[in-house]
Amino acid sequence: MPAIFVFWHGQHFMTPFIKTKASYRAKVLISRHRDGEFNALAVERLGIGTIRGSGDHSGAFHRKGGVGAFLEMVRTLEDGCNMATTADVPKRARVAGLGAIMLARESGRPIIPFAMVTSRFIRLKNWDSTTINLPFGRGAVVGIEPVYVPPDADAATMEKLRQHVENLLNEATRRAYAAVGRPEATLG
């Protein structure tokens, strides 16, 4: 610890409720978009810090506050606080971006890909197939292995690690749904 915790968009509603025996500080990256405002209000009410900004597959980081948010995430990790963020950039669901890879390279902290699912849910028909988790079912949190990014990683190494994180997230999602008895739910 600290670490960079990543998960897919649409699987985020239950993440503030993950509890461990130890108490770890964490902040989460939330976009400046108006939809992000609702998430930020809820997360802050639950006592989790926020960093506002997001990445972009087309490189418009400055427009979305990505550069400032990136620097704040590096400082957060240096201060011993965990970071949580989605691995995929908006409108490209289930395709990991390079943001977490760059953050791990800069900070020296590991990436922990994980999936958190429940057996009972409603899946929305939106770009990220958001799942609204329902009560009275089973839940699972699955992580497979940490991913370390060397400080001197070149573009080819970063792309290889980006793909590895994507594969780990898909496998964690598959395993989590199998653990709650819903292997077919991985699709979507």
For the chain, the structural domain boundaries read: 4-182
User: What beta strand segments (E) does 53-125 contain?
Assistant: 82-86, 111-118, 121-123
Give the global pTM.
0.86
H or E segment and range at residue 140? strand 139-143
Instruction: Judge whether residue 111 has pLDDT over 90.
Output: yes
Whole-angstrom Cα distance, residue 43 to residue 40? 5
Q: How confident is the model at residue 68 (pLDDT cuts 50, 70, 90)?
A: confident
Return contacts of 60-63, CB within 8 angstroms, 24+ apart: none
Instruction: Judge whether residue 135 has pLDDT over 80.
Output: yes
- pLDDT higher at 58 or 86: 86
